[in-house]
């Protein structure tokens, strides 16, 4: 599903080596933690997958295809296969919960006849069916993150990238979000979750990748937190 072949990333402006010689492979249906201190290269790693940044060296493959040849419109279509959840949820505050989800369906050109059903279904999955007309500002942090997850998966992506999705949440709510992500993973979506939360990594043992100063220093199939 996701393969990195000797991938290095250097930011020329600051001459910083964000990632160095990364080699790894993530299979379809896996749920992988990506851990490391702030600045270890987690966000750069995710950025390479959605091609918001390009590697200085090496190749990134998604679904067997190298991203190098993706240009312009193909990048947009590539991103439609990937759902993204951010720490700051990135919902559009002037749109209702349902309209935020509709926004994603419209952009990805999902058949209009399915919109209602899909919005209703995903809101039920994330437990917010009763809040479809509410605006994000009226929701709690945890609820907003659930809407963000709903928006990320409503387009049925094959891969879900979550960048510190529980970063702003208290432990109980974080646990709910993790439960939700597990549920999504069980339905077949591959998930890469960037986090520096020891609790999460320790409580739900999964394959864990650890980055340190841009290097992949640990790839442990049994998981566990170690920086």
Partner 1 sequence: MTTRTAGMHCEDKTVSYHLKQAWLAFRANITAGVATLSTMTLTLTLLALVALVTINLETIVRGLEKDVQITAFLAPAENISLAKAQGDAVLTVLSGIAGIESSTFISRAEAFAKLKTEYPALEGVSKQVDNPLADRIVIRVQNPRTIEDIAIQVKTIVGVAELEYGADFVNTVLATLETVRNIGYGLVLLLVFNTLLNILNTIRVAMFARRDEIQVMRMIGATRGFIRAPYVLEGLALALLASLFTMAIIFPAYSTIASRVSELVPFIPIIKDPFLVLQVLGAITLLGLFLGLLGSLWAANRYLREAE
Tokens of 58: 């090496």
Give whichever of 2 and 201 is closer to partner 1, judged by the CB atom.
2
Give whichever of 78 and 205 is closer to partner 1, judged by the CB atom.
78
Q: What angle do CA 220, 79, 37 make, to 5 degrees?
A: 35
**Nearest distance from C-beta of residue 93 to partner 1, angstroms:** 8
Residues at the interface with partner 1 (CB under 8 A):
50, 52, 72-73, 76-82, 84, 90, 92, 95-104, 106-108, 112, 115-116, 119-120, 123, 129, 132-133, 151, 155
Q: How far is CA 129 from the centre of its chain?
A: 23
Kindly report the number of other CB atoms within 10 A of residue 180's CB atom.
20
Buried b (16+ CB within 10 A) or exposed e, 44-63: bbbbbbbbebebeebebebe
Give whichever of 151 and 206 is closer to partner 1, judged by the CB atom.
151
**Nearest distance from C-beta of residue 100 to partner 1, angstroms:** 8
**Nearest distance from C-beta of residue 136 to partner 1, angstroms:** 12
Give whichever of 54 and 186 is closer to partner 1, judged by the CB atom.
54
Tokens of 135: 């605006």
The DSSP annotation for 28-48 comes to: TT-EEEEE-STTSSHHHHHHH
Give the position of tokens 């379809």. Answer: 28
Say how many Å lie between the first and final Cα of the chain, rounded: 26
Give whichever of 133 and 198 is closer to partner 1, judged by the CB atom.
133
Give whichever of 8 and 90 is closer to partner 1, judged by the CB atom.
90
**Nearest distance from C-beta of residue 52 to partner 1, angstroms:** 8
Angular region, 223: left φ>0, alpha ψ -120 to 50, beta rest:
left
């Amino acid at each position: 599903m996701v393969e990195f072949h000797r991938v290095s990333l250097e930011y020329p402006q600051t001459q910083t080596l964000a990632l160095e010689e990364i080699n790894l492979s993530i299979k379809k249906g896996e749920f992988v933690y990506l851990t490391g201190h702030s600045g270890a290269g987690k966000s750069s790693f995710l950025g390479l997958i959605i091609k918001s940044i390009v590697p200085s060296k090496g190749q990134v493959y998604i679904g067997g295809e190298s991203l190098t040849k993706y240009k312009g419109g193909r990048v947009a279509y590539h991103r439609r296969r990937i759902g993204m959840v951010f720490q700051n949820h990135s919902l559009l505050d002037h749109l209702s919960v349902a309209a935020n989800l509709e926004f994603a369906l419209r952009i990805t050109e999902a058949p209009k006849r399915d919109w209602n059903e899909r919005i209703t279904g995903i809101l039920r999955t994330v437990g917010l069916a009763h809040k479809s007309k509410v605006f994000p500002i009226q929701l709690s942090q945890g609820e907003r993150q659930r809407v963000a997850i709903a928006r990320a998966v409503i387009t049925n992506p094959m891969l879900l990238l979550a960048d510190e999705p529980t970063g702003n949440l208290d432990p109980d709510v974080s646990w709910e979000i993790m439960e939700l992500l597990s549920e999504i993973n069980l339905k077949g979506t591959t998930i890469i979750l960037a986090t520096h939360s020891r609790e999460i990594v320790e409580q739900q043992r999964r394959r864990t990748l650890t980055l340190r100063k841009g290097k992949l220093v640990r790839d442990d199939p049994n998981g566990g937190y170690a920086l």
